[in-house]
Amino acid sequence: MPGEGEVVGTVTKIAGATKFMVNCGDGKERLCIIPGRLRRRFWIKENDVVIVKPWVVQTDERGDIVWRYSMLDIGKLRERHVL
């Protein structure tokens, strides 16, 4: 589940090796990156559901991807009405 200051989003476009356009649950589209410590932990594709932590400076435009949900987790999110 997303923590405080985090939002759930869906990846809409791959914009580079570690950059992605994410349509967030708060109605904003952000350019998000995978931080260096997480780059080799998971692979992200279009239409994946992720947790985004918005940046402090450019809150409405940029963020970090901190987690990618599996297909089983997405079903649980839909049951809890998070998606």
Q: Which domains can be identified in the chain, with CATH numbers?
A: 7-69 (2.40.50.140)
Round to whole Å and give the CA distance between 50 and 29: 13
Predicted TM-score (pTM) of this structure: 0.85
Round to whole Å and give the CA distance between 83 and 75: 9
Residue pLDDT, tens place only, 38-72: 888 888 999 999 999 999 998 899 999 999 998 88
Round to whole Å and give the CA distance between 38 and 53: 13
Tokens at 2, concatenated: 């997303």
Cα→Cα distances 5→16, 41, 55, 71, Å: 25, 22, 10, 24
Q: What whole-number percentage of the chain has pLDDT above 90?
A: 58
Residue 10 confidence (pLDDT) above 90 = yes
Average pLDDT of the residues in 18-40? 92
SS3 59: coil
Amino acid 81: pLDDT? 75
